[in-house]
Amino acid sequence: MTFKPALVVVDVQEDFCPPNGSLAVQGGRDIVPTVNELLSLPFPVKIATKDFHPQDHISFASNHPPPNNKPFESMITITNPLNLEETQETRLWPDHCVQGTKGSELLPELDIGKFQHIVEKGQDRRVEMYSAFADPFTNPNISRSNLAQILRDASVTDVYIAGLAADYCVKFTALDARKEGFNTWVVGEATKPVDASALEDVYKEYSKVGVTLIGKEDEAIQKVKAYS
């Protein structure tokens, strides 16, 4: 029985955190000590992801005409640019994580030197991409990162996920990790949500598809501590 764990730290970026983030998640910065603890464990693979949008990204409310362009509120329909039959309802956001801006940077208090890979996502202006693996379209898929390839090349069996936000990018990264065939663990106290009332449903979905929510002292973490 092989076990090779990877830690994936999702989108721990300035724009998702107080005090200056445009899409600040309450308490977003407070997860850093826990994330750094995880980074100190002997995970053989450690990856950070970054939301990394062009200024004209489709998820920015500022790129849509009124009245349906209220950040955090308005929903739009995105059509698969390669298949007009496939659509997605998605939320609009304030401008965030624009390539080259301060807001797109990883928090400096993160132990950034421990990451072997930084995976950027959300660069295609035409699609929303919460998952660090791929955009949500399937028929066909429009944009894929190199995350699955990195994990496969390293023969990873188990993916441990921390970061922001629990109800968006962490959620969809975890669901895709499971779909890609990895044993998938989300470290609850190393995440924070945009909307805390959404978490119950997120956790239900996890149990339905076989993603496991864990605490930082749970058996699945003890197994990483014993990894060599």
- Annotation says 17 is catalytic: no
Q: 41-59 burial string, b = 16+ CB within 10 Å, else e?
A: bebebbbbbbbbbeeebbb
Q: Measure CA 48 to chain center.
A: 9
Determine the Cα angle at 28 with ends 24 and 29, to 5°. 115
Q: At residue 101, what are phi and psi to the nearest 5 degrees? A: -95, 160
- Annotation says 169 is catalytic: yes
Does 93 help bind ligand VGL (rule: CB under 6 A)? Answer: yes
Does 165 help bind ligand VGL (rule: CB under 6 A)? Answer: yes
- Annotation says 201 is catalytic: no
Measured from the CB atom, the residue of 153 and 201 that comes closer to ligand VGL is 201
Measured from the CB atom, the residue of 98 and 224 that comes closer to ligand VGL is 98
Measured from the CB atom, the residue of 6 and 202 that comes closer to ligand VGL is 202
Closest separation between CB of residue 150 and ligand VGL, Å?
19
> Measured between alpha carbons, how far is residue 146 from residues 61, 118, 133, 182 in Å?
28, 10, 7, 15
Determine the Cα angle at 51 with ends 50 and 55, to 5°. 135
Cβ–Cβ < 8 Å for 149, 6: no
Measured from the CB atom, the residue of 51 and 158 that comes closer to Zn ion is 51
Does 51 help bind ligand VGL (rule: CB under 6 A)? Answer: yes
Nearest alpha carbon to residue 41 among 81, 6, 88, 2 = 6
Residue of 169, 171, 176, 192 with catalytic role: 169
Measure the CA–CA gap between 97 and 43, rounded to whole angstroms: 27
Does 51 help bind Zn ion (rule: CB under 5 A)? Answer: yes
Interface residue with ligand VGL among 45, 162, 164, 202 (CB under 6 A) is 164
Q: At residue 45, what are phi and psi to the nearest 5 degrees? A: -135, 125
Q: How many residues bind ligand VGL (CB under 6 A)?
A: 11
Closest separation between CB of residue 82 and Zn ion, Å?
21
Interface residue with ligand VGL among 6, 7, 9, 11 (CB under 6 A) is 11
Residues that bind ligand VGL (CB under 6 A): 11, 16, 23, 51, 59, 93, 130, 164-165, 168-169
Active site positions, annotated: 11, 121, 169
Residues interacting with Zn ion, by CB under 5 A? 51
